[in-house]
Amino acid sequence: MERIGVVGGGLMGSGIAEVCARAGCDVLVVESDAPAAEAARARIEKSVRRAAERGKILHPDDVLAQVRVGTDLDELADRELVIEAIVENEDAKVDLFAKLDKIVAPDAILASNTSSIPIMKLAVVTQRPQQILGIHFFNPVPVLKLVELVPSLMTSEETTTRSRAFVEQQLGKQAILCQDRAGFVVNALLIPFILSAIRMMESGFATPEDIDHGLVLGAAHPQGPLALADLIGLDTVKAVAESLYEEFKEPLYAPPPLLLRMVSAGLLGRKTGRGFYTYD
């Protein structure tokens, strides 16, 4: 697959666009408006230039030439694969997939980068459920090798096979297959761990620094759970936790009150400059 569309140019969408362009694909990123499109373009260029400075990319201008950024979904009509990477909101994603189904060629694959929403809920609003699946990248996309492939009950084996070949052979990532259930593999394990750390802090049992140092120095984690939550974005942690709780109704998946209050206050972690820690 050579013509790739990405809807949403935030941290995840811009990272997906970058790795596709680095693999030689013709990439079109579609954003909601002109300011968002300009921010996405700047985000991609900054990341590519930084990678070139570190010797990861030899010809950054060639990579950037592979990427276009626009605001019109209709321009995605000729794409072979479109990856949705918008806000982690079920209604917004369902609405987008219904629109994309009418725009993109009938034989194209539509994929979601969702970290928690069941793929079947997106597939049933289209006329091509056999060509819908989850392709879930991890942040930062240019660095982390893992991709979760999430076929629904309706996804064809051909779609899964083509998507796996794209992820592994073209992008050079490592794919794992996951059942279509909230959280898939990684977040179903990771989010309860993060929520447990938040509850420990909330109860006054330990400080954020001591919790994170304990896991880094005592369990050889590269990053503590609260610093990781700040990197993911506390709004995303909350959204994934709510999806898990809605599906399984287990208390360990329920977002703690502190997390809810921080999201309401706009303290979302690195992207807002403050979460469990403060950032420049």
> Which of 112, 116, 187, 243 is an active site residue?
187
CB of 270 closer than 8 Å to CB of 226: no
DSSP string, 206-237: S-HHHHHHHHHHHH--SS-HHHHHHHH-HHHH
CB of 110 closer than 8 Å to CB of 104: yes
> Which of 47, 115, 152, 243 is an active site residue?
115
| Structure token pair of residue 38 | 């300009």
> Which of 136, 152, 163, 242 is an active site residue?
136
Known catalytic residue at 148: yes
Known catalytic residue at 221: no
Of 137, 86, 128, the closest CA to residue 106 belongs to: 128
Q: How far apart are CA 177 and CA 157, in angstroms?
A: 12
Known catalytic residue at 115: yes
CB-count burial class (<10 Å; 0-12, 13-18, 19+) for 35: exposed
Beta strands in the chain (DSSP E): 3-7, 26-30, 67-70, 81-84, 109-112, 132-137, 146-151, 174-177
> Which of 148, 152, 163, 242 is an active site residue?
148
Q: Could you give the 3-state DSSP secondary structure of residue 86?
A: coil
Known catalytic residue at 243: no
Exposure on the CB side of residue 253, measured as CA atoms within 13 A: 18
Exposure on the CB side of residue 9, measured as CA atoms within 13 A: 27
Q: How far apart are CA 110 and CA 81, in angstroms?
A: 6
Dmax (CA) for the chain in angstroms is 55
Query: Which of the residues are catalytic?
Result: 115, 136, 148, 187
